[in-house]
Amino acid sequence: MSDTPSKTIARLSTQSSDFERELTQLLAWEGVSDASVQQRVDEILADVKTRGDAAVIDATNRFDRLSVSHIDELRLSAAQLEAAFESLPDEQRDALAAAAERIRCYHERQKPTSWQYEEADGTVLGQQVTPLDRAGIYVPGGKAAYPSSVLMNAIPAHVAGVRELIMVVPTPDGAVNALVLAAAHLAGVDQVFTIGGAQAIGALAYGTQSVPRVDKIVGPGNIYVATAKRAVFGQVGIDMIAGPSEILVVSDGHTDPEWLAMDLFSQAEHDEDAQAILVSWDADHLAEVEAAIERLLPTLDREAIVRESLARRGALIHCADESQAIELINRIAPEHLELSVAEPERLLPEVRHAGAIFMGRYTAEALGDYCAGPNHVLPTSGTARFSSPLGVYDFQKRSSIIHCSAQGASELGKIASVLARGESLTAHARSAEYRIRR
């Protein structure tokens, strides 16, 4: 790598005395909504809670620039979804169906099962797994309307056995995305409302005269959607508050630099806040990737967005060796991790935190975004430290099962009695003591 700072993408070295500060700054992301956003969201939610459909219609007319007078104008029928699917070119329809099938297969493996075991005295303990009754899927409208997101959110819910799937997708200025509707058809969405923003989240969380109340809301959205989801959390379940998308690529120096450059671009093209970072212990290789970036940038359709994102949040990081690369992985806890190395299996047990791990030189992140099978809804901004990819488990919940035999209750009653009295909860103690055999 040259020593003059590149204008295109930052170059960092773990050898620099300032590295820790630089890295912290690079990773910093404050997804906090300011007080004015908070207040507007609170007002919209309160209005939807009180006035239901009427509030949803008013907000939709205002924010999406429509002139709707009845909620039925904000519904899409099953026939409309099917028509959208049938209207697609064969190639797109086939690709969408192939992706859906692979996503379904993978998620089938994820299903947790109920279990029980019996103790010597006949007491049975276990856990019963059940699906949610109803889930809501938020799909962004406008420029970030992605059919792949519809598949990734709806299919795990379906596999989980959710009884009813409600999708909301705003149509600003009336713009409808046929691919999104086709994906909803394919994924078995039951009802679609063309609403968005905090008003859609409120409608799903509280229910209105027309929009059924759901048990959990999943799917990405802008700051109003994220703020509204945080506000209704507890009233309904939510998936996560997503930050900008990011990738960390670790290369051993033997992957084609143009492949790596394009992998970084594929992240950076999402939006100006997206983050693409490459780590390698091979300085010459980093220089080659940098040259490939410069060479390929002018050929990109979304060149301006990529340039902005690389300049603001991208980095090529030179580290000492493989073990330092692993430290960086676990420090960053990336949403997407590409292990572009000869033996990725060897590194895998060392990876403690990552949303999805793309192993080897052939596994471009883009394959996982669309059709490999695993979910593309992943924990961002370091939240892979404690969060998982969206999955079947997000659409199910568990109930503990306790079935004491007469003898089991008698023995457990003695222990519970002592502990309850230790906590001064004597009604607890007496309730347990009734079951002790005399």
* Window 338-397: residues binding a copy of itself (CB under 8 A): 344-345, 348, 351-360, 362-375, 378-379, 383-389, 391, 393, 397
Q: Does 92 bind a copy of itself (CB under 8 A)?
A: yes
Q: Which residue has the tokens 């009295």?
A: 421
Of 424, 280, 267, whose CA–CA distance to 355 is shortest?
A: 267
Of 313, 310, 319, whose CA–CA distance to 20 is shortest?
A: 319
Name the pairing type of β-strands 124-131 and 275-280.
Answer: unpaired
Q: Does 184 bind a copy of itself (CB under 8 A)?
A: no
39 among the known binding-site residues? Answer: no
Of 145, 137, 369, whose CA–CA distance to 245 is shortest?
A: 369
338 among the known binding-site residues? Answer: no
Reply yes or no on whether 336 is catalytic.
Answer: yes
In our burial notation (b when 16+ CB lie closer than 10 A, e otherwise), range 225-258 reads: bbbbbebbeeebbbbbbbbbbbbbbbbbbebebe
199 among the known binding-site residues? Answer: yes
CB of 62 to a copy of itself, least distance (A): 25
Please give the backbone phi and psi of residue 84, each rounded to the nearest 5 degrees, phi first.
Answer: -60, -40
Task: Give 3 or 143: the residue with its C-beta nearer to a copy of itself.
Answer: 143
Site residues for a copy of itself, window 101-130 (CB under 8 A)?
106, 109-110, 112, 115, 117, 123-125, 127-128, 130
Instruction: Out of 76, 187, 240, 328, name the contact with a copy of itself by CB under 8 A.
Output: 240
Instruction: Out of 170, 237, 244, 314, name the contact with a copy of itself by CB under 8 A.
Output: 237
The angle that helices 406-422 and 426-433 make with each other, rounded to 10 degrees, is: 160
Contact status, residue 100 vs residue 186, Cβ threshold 8 Å: yes
Reply yes or no on whether 365 is catalytic.
Answer: no
Site residues for a copy of itself, window 392-431 (CB under 8 A)?
393, 397-406, 408-409, 412-416, 418-420, 422-431
Site residues for a copy of itself, window 146-165 (CB under 8 A)?
146-148
Binding mask 19-58 for a copy of itself (x = CB under 8 A): ------------x---------------------------
Please give the backbone phi and psi of residue 22, each rounded to the nearest 5 degrees, phi first.
Answer: -60, -40
CB of 393 to a copy of itself, least distance (A): 8
Cβ-proximal residues to 312 (8 Å cutoff; 6+ apart), any chain: 272, 273
158 among the known binding-site residues? Answer: no
Of 141, 157, 151, whose CA–CA distance to 195 is shortest?
A: 141
353 among the known binding-site residues? Answer: no
Distance, CA of 309 to CA of 314 (rounded, Å): 7
Q: Does 331 bind a copy of itself (CB under 8 A)?
A: no
Distance, CA of 263 to CA of 257 (rounded, Å): 10
CB of 355 to a copy of itself, least distance (A): 7
- Number of amino acids touching a copy of itself (CB under 8 A): 121
The total of other beta-carbon atoms located within 10 Å of residue 406's CB is 11
Name the pairing type of β-strands 315-318 and 10-13.
Answer: parallel
Site residues for a copy of itself, window 245-304 (CB under 8 A)?
256, 258-259, 262-263, 265-266, 268-270, 300-302
Task: Give 75 or 398: the residue with its C-beta nearer to a copy of itself.
Answer: 398
376 among the known binding-site residues? Answer: no
Catalytic pick from 246, 335, 338, 365?
A: 335
Task: Give 75 or 230: the residue with its C-beta nearer to a copy of itself.
Answer: 230
Annotated binding site: 138, 199, 222, 245, 267, 270, 336, 369, 423, 428
Please give the positions annotated as active site: 335-336
